[in-house]
Structure 1
Amino acid sequence: MLKGRTIQTVLTVSSGVLIVGLVGATVFVGQQQGWLTQLERWVMNTTGGSANLSRKPNDEQSEVLPLALLPMEERLPRLEELANGAPSYERSRARFMLASDWIEQGEGGRAIRTLDGLDLDYSLLGPWVLLKRARAYELTNDLNRSKETLQKLLETYPESLAVGEALYVLGRYDEDYWERAIAEHPQHPLTHQLVREKLEGNRDQPELLLFLAHNTPDSERMSEIRDYLVQRFSDQLTPEDWEVIGFGYWQQWEYGKAASAYSRATRTPETLFRTARGREIAGNAIAARIDYQQLVSEFPDSREAGQALLRLAASSPPQEAIAFLDQAIANYPDQAAEALINKANILEQQGARTSAAQARQSVLNQYPQSEAASRYRWERAKAFSSQGNYIEAWRWARPIAINTPNSSLAPRAAFWVGKWASRVNRTEDAESAYQYVLEQHPESYYAWRSAVLLGWDVGDFTTVRPKSPEIVTPTFYPHPPAGSEAFRELYQLGQYNDAWKLWQAEMGNRRDKTVDEQFTQGLILQTQGKYLDGINAIWNLTQRDTPEEREEWQALRQESMYWKTLFPLPYSELILEWSEARNLNPFLVFSLIRQESRFEKEIRSSAGALGLMQVMPDTGRWIAEQISFENYSLINPADNIKLGTWYLDYTHQRYNNNSLLAIASYNAGPGNVNQWVQRFGFDDPDVFVEQIPFPETKGYVESVFSNYWNYLRIYNPEIAQLMER
């Protein structure tokens, strides 16, 4: 944590004396006002003491970066102090942030004075200094100076992506600038906005519709634009256009429309597979089978052909299915293990138990490191456990963690190896298994369960509610691993809108983002309040399958920013306030909100639940009556958290502060939970979780407590230190 220490600049005392000797009282006055005169800047440059040449401090040393985390009114005095200090990189940062705050408050005159000459001293963000200066002139109604400043940007920084924004603004005065923006900066988000404005009132402009389809497939209302293109201009679309349209539909889960578009794209293994799979999901099984068969015939060496054989087998009668599976086993090693297990299941249903057993044994012998082998081992382990044969269950489950350490089953299997070992009094083996889970799968639900059984003070199901763990939050925004230095600087200074626009202009509609770029995408999405998309972008890194990408992902997982971005702390003031008021562990509330809504404040479920804590309208009305709360809105974060924490307190009270039952009840309702307790008993909470008959609720419970554990190990220093050891 930064302790407010002062940072020495590279500018030495002797050079400061030299400057004063040269420019005398002029410098003194200029420094008192906080801005360098032209002569002073000349002297600084000629003596090598320019602020631009001062050493950029490390993030941990910066006095400015922590201020980006503070509310504007709290940081203003310190920013003014730093902006009036001696020339340095930090001073330039402070002036930039201060001017941005003045603009946000409508103080154009103050911003103009603060920005004077900053484009020369802070060349990294020179184009954005000019953008802000132009905006400040607008605020003072000096439109001529605003235009001149933007034109200066075009002349001085012609290669900068900030030009896209300058062209957009200048187009208000001369529409020729807008045509330049469309031609020269098609990736800039303001160009996309410009195209949308041009389409208002006249959608019959296919070139502009296609511009959006190609450059911004994920933006709002793009499905409508794609629909209009398909309905009105299908005869003008090229195979490349159809593939782009198909991709857009696919990303929005409109699989039937995606299939139709992909069928008219250039035939590749991917387009053929998505045509077939889209039709299958949409219910057109006959057409899907034809497409799968064409894929196998036309691209027999592709990975998609093996996947197509598995899909064909799933929709075929037994003998035909076995023929497809045999073809996959013989020709597609990546799909062979899955095909063998599927074949074994069919043979079992036909009564050919010996052949089925042989097929399963082939999976264990030939493909021990496959996901299919691990799933089969886990089913056998559970079967032996249910019979009370814990030694045999242990024997079947142990290889899962060894052979497939990256499988989602690995932490579960290793944890239960420990549980079963403890039941046969193999205490050391049990402790070793729990320690293995903590070391190899520290983010998992089973890491928390292992920590509990190892005796760590992390809260168990019956003790977690009243805990109030210390929370240590970041002291500055992390340095993104991808993007230009200008983007990274804007992000760390909390200039989210500028950083977001620059990031979009840099990335465009690239589908081949690197691991670092995909992580940074998630990082910057969260600054726009798009927590669902941001968290998903980072979580989906688990799907990277090349060895190089997996290695890059594993390296990223060693960084604290990875976990803090995957488990963010939005709405922390509200959550902490109502957690304290309801005597709830704040990490438990963060965890439930992350699972319910991914912190999307206006999200609505298919069942009609609303807001951060996904409160049903009827439940919200009932809670409001209990606490005499009128004129609330479930999409207002403050109201939603107030109502949702009351209900979470209520479910805890119903179950004597047993958080497992309270969380399960929050998802499935008290009636179902009561039935499960009567049916299964509650002697062992881990067994109870495994027996929850609703897969959604079982996954929900595990996810909420996995979230809880991650918030604890990331933000609580005591547990973080234990994990380091």
Structure 2
Amino acid sequence: MSVKNSLTGLGLSVLMVAGLSMAQPAYAAKSPKSFINDDDRFMALRDAAFHDDPEAAEQHAAALRNYDIPSYVDYYRLRPRLYKASNTEIREFINKYEGSAIADRMRNDWLLLLGKRGEWDLFDQQYPQFVVADDNQLRCYALLSKAVRQQKVANEARNLLTAPRDYGEGCHALVAFLADNGQFSQNDLWSQVRMAGENSALSLAQRLAKLMDVSEKRVAEAIEKPSALLKKEPDSGRAAHELFIIALGRLAKNDPEQAASILSRFSAKFSDSERALAWAQIALQSALKLEPDALGYWVRAEGAPLTNEAYQWRVRTALREGDWKLVKNTINAMPASLKNDPAWIYWLGRALKAEGRQEEARTLFNSIAEQMHFYGQLALEENGQKIGAPLASRPVTAEEIAPMEKNPNLQRALKFYAMNLRMEGTREWNWELRKMNERQHLAAAELARQNNLLDRMVNTSDRTKGELDFSQRYPTPFNESMYKTTQSLGLDMAWVYGLIRQESRFIMNAKSHVGASGLMQIMPATARYVAKKIGLGNFVPEQVNDIDTNIALGTNYLNMVLTDLGGSQALASAAYNAGPGRPRAWRSKLTRPVEGAIFAETIPFAETRGYVKNVLSNATYYAALFEKKPQSLKTRLGTVVPKGMSASDAELP
């Protein structure tokens, strides 16, 4: 969901919430409770399992012997005592429900235990059978198992260990083993510590540094109190220099200019490679703050090994400053896994086109132009075409939908959705989709439509590549209310639908972890402010979930930020997600007019960056459907100009 905000005038301040668990009431497992029916008791069983209360879970499960989803009763009975359960008991559960989503979930849980215990024979037997295979810790444990058997895995580990916040115990154990056994050098370990520092992962940085006998106190000073460490020149020795470099990056989060000044003062104390590393630390933070000086810092960082995040921000800095040569060189230097992302394929094509290498650029654009996303649309336009709604496939028939209505896994998913258990419902729904061809995907999407699960309809239909139904992918519920409201405001209805598709996927009662509600995900303070502005008398917070009220409040607010930001849909979409103050600040850092696509690409918040791209991509398809003619995403993105300059003054190459 969006990074939503409390409203003061048209300025929003971000409400950062660390996690759902902080907002949960204390669990009272022993308190007496009456149950209306078995579904009610199942919810209590689930709650006991998630709060690691095996006694309560056993009590509830015993009373659910005839429940119509026995696999989940058994799972939630076993889950809170998994650490004490025998491998035989866990295996019996998996064998009993083999081939089901919940058996795969249990295998995931079991593999984590096996990895932690170092039971590698059993781990290696079970890991290939883990179907979803989406757990980064298990990937680390799988490499650790190979390393324990004296296989060389250092290169695979380097490619995997790029996102410290996802490490967990398994990835730390992998790093520690590789360091102990000579597969990871000090360069590898310090690279990991620097990444942890970049991600504010203090505890991880301390654990990693401890592998090199560097004290927790010294690491904490570099990450939490960089100014104190940087007051004097660095001591001699590898650890002192590395911690000084990390401290420079941490200081640069708030003041890159000061960090650059300190590095320049003590430059002679470092080797050429250390200096490049230090400039890369400063350049990344300067780039995230959209400072024009970042380009110069990146130049000084030439030759430094970069993290995936740093590679991407080096390109974004170059885009913002119009340095196409640096765009090309940086993308070409990226690891293959990153370079092959559609974003960097597109921007490399643009860099080649800027050099006059038209055929090479066209080849890159052609490779992604049929993909239905932001970069595919932009690539299509680079090849001189516009964006339209493709010809619809033959509509699914009642005969094709009938097996979906009888499918036990889909029916189980529908039951979970009816109980508002979206995690379980989505697990079951997606598990069944794995077995389906594209016609069956469209039929399942239609089943979702019939059950008013528009988010499932959209997500299911989105999976197809040859069989396409845009009425499923881009639905228009509440069309009459939406048309009336947008017409009265002079607001682009395609854009509003594009925003709703991204905000809530048309879940009517959607509520984010920060309290945003309904189709248009409106925060309570925003709702009160807009209600007052538009003269909605006697407004009470509960009204925000009324469809017509939610649409009225959301569209009026969207219109306010659009007006405030000069009519730019790119800026206004960013404002709806992150608050109007932020896009104004991002625009204020511009040194020249930029394409809307470049502005979107260089938004510092990852969530907002993806949000703006998706909203405007959605809106372009909706417009093609509404107007029944091809559209231009580039036109919709427009040009973003520095404050004080009008769009008519902007002259882009």
Report Cα offsets for 1:278-323 as digits up to 9, x if no partner.
699xxxxxxx5665435533132443599799627969xxxxx996
CA distance in 1, matches of 2:610, 2:590: 18
Give how far 1:603 is off.
1.6
CA distance in 2, matches of 1:428, 1:707: 29
Q: Does 1:674 align with 2:597?
A: no
Partner of 1:604: 511
Q: Secondary structure at the match of 2:629?
A: helix
1:426 to 332, 351, 357: 357
Report Cα offsets for 1:339-383 as digits up to 9, x if no partner.
4878685363588999xxxxxxxxxxxxxxxxxxxx988964764
CA distance in 1, matches of 2:467, 2:479: 22
Partner of 1:299: 123
CA distance in 2, matches of 1:446, 1:701: 13
Task: Tell me whether 569-578 or 417-426 shows the greater mean CA deviation.
Answer: 417-426
Q: Does 1:558 align with 2:466?
A: yes
- Kept in 2, the 8 Å contact 1:603–1:611? The answer is yes
Give how far 1:578 is off.
1.7
Q: Does 1:698 align with 2:604?
A: no
Give how far 1:410 is off.
3.1
- Kept in 2, the 8 Å contact 1:390–1:423? The answer is yes
AA aligned opposite 1:299 = F
Partner of 2:629: 718
CA distance in 1, matches of 2:310, 2:127: 28
Partner of 2:497: 590
Residues 223, 651 of structure 1: alpha-carbon distance in 2 compared, 3 angstrom cutoff: same
Partner of 2:137: 311
Task: Tell me whether 528-537 or 340-349 shows the greater mean CA deviation.
Answer: 340-349
1:525 to 448, 452, 466: 448
Give how far 1:472 is off.
12
Q: Secondary structure at the match of 2:369?
A: helix
AA aligned opposite 2:602 = Q
Report Cα offsets for 1:408-463 as digits up to 9, x if no partner.
95321221012212333434544554444323x1x1111333355556667xxxxx
Residues 705, 410 of structure 1: alpha-carbon distance in 2 compared, 3 angstrom cutoff: same
Give how far 1:568 is off.
1.6
Q: Secondary structure at the match of 1:568?
A: coil
Residues 487, 652 of structure 1: alpha-carbon distance in 2 compared, 3 angstrom cutoff: same
Task: Tell me whether 609-618 or 329-338 shows the greater mean CA deviation.
Answer: 329-338
Report Cα offsets for 1:650-681 as digits up to 9, x if no partner.
11101110111101001111112222122345
Partner of 1:479: 397
Q: Secondary structure at the match of 1:299?
A: helix
Q: Does 1:394 align with 2:328?
A: yes
CA distance in 2, matches of 1:713, 1:400: 35
- Kept in 2, the 8 Å contact 1:593–1:613? The answer is yes
Q: Does 1:653 align with 2:563?
A: yes
Give how far 1:626 is off.
1.5
Partner of 2:204: none
Partner of 1:534: 457
1:622 to 526, 529, 535: 529
State the identity as a percent.
19
Report Cα offsets for 1:246-296 as digits up to 9, x if no partner.
76799xxxx97998999853365998995696699xxxxxxx566543553
Partner of 1:664: 574
Give how far 1:400 is off.
9.1
Q: Does 1:410 align with 2:341?
A: yes
Q: Any unmatched runs of 5+ in structure 2?
A: 1-32, 163-174, 176-183, 194-237, 243-272, 275-305, 407-413, 419-427, 634-653
Residues 310, 526 of structure 1: alpha-carbon distance in 2 compared, 3 angstrom cutoff: closer
Q: Does 1:573 align with 2:480?
A: yes
Give how far 1:631 is off.
4.7
- Kept in 1, the 8 Å contact 2:489–2:559? The answer is yes
Report Cα offsets for 1:601-646 as digits up to 9, x if no partner.
2222121111111112221121122221225521111111111111
Q: Does 1:446 align with 2:375?
A: yes
- Kept in 2, the 8 Å contact 1:245–1:258? The answer is no
Residues 721, 578 of structure 1: alpha-carbon distance in 2 compared, 3 angstrom cutoff: closer
Residues 535, 383 of structure 1: alpha-carbon distance in 2 compared, 3 angstrom cutoff: same
CA distance in 1, matches of 2:352, 2:340: 18
Residues 659, 335 of structure 1: alpha-carbon distance in 2 compared, 3 angstrom cutoff: same
What is the number of equivalent residue pairs in this alignment?
429
1:265 to 84, 90, 95: 90
Residues 647, 679 of structure 1: alpha-carbon distance in 2 compared, 3 angstrom cutoff: same
Give how far 1:397 is off.
4.2
AA aligned opposite 2:556 = W
CA distance in 2, matches of 1:586, 1:482: 33
CA distance in 2, matches of 1:686, 1:510: 32
CA distance in 1, matches of 2:158, 2:150: 7
CA distance in 2, matches of 1:572, 1:473: 22
Residues 328, 558 of structure 1: alpha-carbon distance in 2 compared, 3 angstrom cutoff: farther
AA aligned opposite 2:121 = S
- Kept in 2, the 8 Å contact 1:295–1:308? The answer is no
Q: Secondary structure at the match of 2:449?
A: helix
Residues 337, 642 of structure 1: alpha-carbon distance in 2 compared, 3 angstrom cutoff: same
Q: Secondary structure at the match of 1:629?
A: coil
Partner of 1:33: none
Partner of 2:255: none
CA distance in 2, matches of 1:515, 1:571: 31
Give how far 1:600 is off.
1.6
Partner of 2:20: none
AA aligned opposite 1:348 = S
2:553 to 627, 633, 643: 643
Q: Does 1:230 align with 2:148?
A: no
Q: Does 1:689 align with 2:515?
A: no
Residues 570, 692 of structure 1: alpha-carbon distance in 2 compared, 3 angstrom cutoff: same
CA distance in 1, matches of 2:587, 2:107: 45
Residues 603, 567 of structure 1: alpha-carbon distance in 2 compared, 3 angstrom cutoff: same
Partner of 2:189: 346
- Kept in 2, the 8 Å contact 1:292–1:309? The answer is no
- Kept in 2, the 8 Å contact 1:330–1:336? The answer is no
CA distance in 2, matches of 1:714, 1:258: 51
AA aligned opposite 1:708 = A
TM-score (norm 2): 0.52
CA distance in 1, matches of 2:578, 2:358: 36
Structure number with greater Rg is 1
CA distance in 1, matches of 2:330, 2:624: 31
Partner of 1:39: none
Task: Tell me whether 226-235 or 332-341 shows the greater mean CA deviation.
Answer: 332-341
- Kept in 2, the 8 Å contact 1:380–1:396? The answer is yes
CA distance in 1, matches of 2:74, 2:584: 47
AA aligned opposite 2:616 = F
Residues 690, 337 of structure 1: alpha-carbon distance in 2 compared, 3 angstrom cutoff: same
Give how far 1:708 is off.
1.7
- Kept in 2, the 8 Å contact 1:262–1:274? The answer is no
- Kept in 2, the 8 Å contact 1:613–1:644? The answer is yes
AA aligned opposite 1:484 = A
